[in-house]
Structure 1
Amino acid sequence: MPIVSLIARERKQNKPQQNTPFASQILPMFAIILATLWIRAFIHQVSFYMKEIRNMASYIEGTLIKGEKLVYVGNISLWTLAPLLLLGFVLLIAYGLGVIVFLIAYIKYKTTELAFTNKRVVAKFGFISRRTMEINITKVESIQVHQNIMGRIFNYGSLVITGSGESQAPIVGISNPMEFRRAFMEAQDMAQKDQ
């Protein structure tokens, strides 16, 4: 047999089989449609929870009683969320999972509330599981401020509010803790003069 016919016969034998339209065109389109539907459902769920958080009335504003006014509202410092934000950035680049970590940091930032009114000190932590602390402003004996070196540099720290001889759990990561304490002391003096 001539070599040319052997090569032609070998090419016919090694020729790949023609894929059916189902396998080559419909399956990838089906996979793209499923992925799109899953992503849309995920985005819808995330946007629902973000809307709930955004539209959710402040716990503190919702618990004000007649004649009570907000005097000072403290915020959690973004510097205390820096490890979460850094992890979110790394995971976003590496795996795309950073969005979830950013969402956790956002929820922690938005659902931690600390304020005092002309009548009491109120702190609230958590979104689904909620922990609150409320102390009458005249019953607070002291506010301790704890700041490490980074806290001093970036102006954040922990507050420990002691009321009626009972020490409360520290409120960690509050921005401007010294300003919070100063404003509280002034409000407490005003409340004691009014009594």
Structure 2
Amino acid sequence: MRNKINRHLHKDEKLMYVEVPSWMKFHKELVFSPLIFPLIHAFLKKISTHLVITNDRVIARHGIIGEHSKGVKFNNIVSVKVHQPAFGSIFNYGHIHLYTQSGGHSDLVFHYIKNPIKVKKVIEKGVNLNTSVKEQEHRS
């Protein structure tokens, strides 16, 4: 360390005292560095989580390395409910609960979905289309 300092001294200069900065100089780094990993985790979770609506079913998919998915066919969906907390109303997000014929609890829940009312309408449209196709097949 002294060698590096001595290179900057003039010929007749002598060191009297050397000090390094206090850790307080790095207070921003110390405060914000623990936030980096949660931010990276949140970002990866966001880009790897999907709500997929096809012409036959609704699928929840998440995961980067290990992938998990769960789907519910339209003909099994009994009702679709949206829960939109106060902040959800302000920032336009909510939770969508899909209820199936199997019971009273929600079988598939999508948390923090953008435009939850729009998504609910798309799912209900799929359920109604599937129901009308089923009724037409039944009549034939």
Q: Report the TM-score, using the length of structure 2 for normalisation.
A: 0.66
1:176 aligns to what?
115
4+ residue runs over 4 A deviation: none
Equivalent AA in structure 2 for residue 127 of structure 1: I
2:85 aligns to what?
148
1:94 aligns to what?
31
> Unmatched 5+ residue regions in structure 1?
1-18, 26-90
Q: How far 1:176 sits from its partner (Å)? A: 0.9
2:102 pairs with 1:165: yes
Separation in structure 2 between the aligned mates of residue 190 and residue 95 of structure 1, nearest angstrom: 50
SS at match of 1:170: strand
Q: Report the TM-score, using the length of structure 1 for normalisation.
A: 0.49
Equivalent AA in structure 2 for residue 180 of structure 1: V
- Count of residue pairs the alignment pairs up: 109
Tell whether the 8 Å contact from 1:138 to 1:188 is kept in structure 2 after alignment. Answer: yes
Separation in structure 1 between the aligned mates of residue 29 and residue 88 of structure 2, nearest angstrom: 27
Equivalent AA in structure 2 for residue 168 of structure 1: D
Q: How far 1:113 sits from its partner (Å)? A: 0.6
2:52 pairs with 1:115: yes
> Unmatched 5+ residue regions in structure 2?
5-27, 135-140
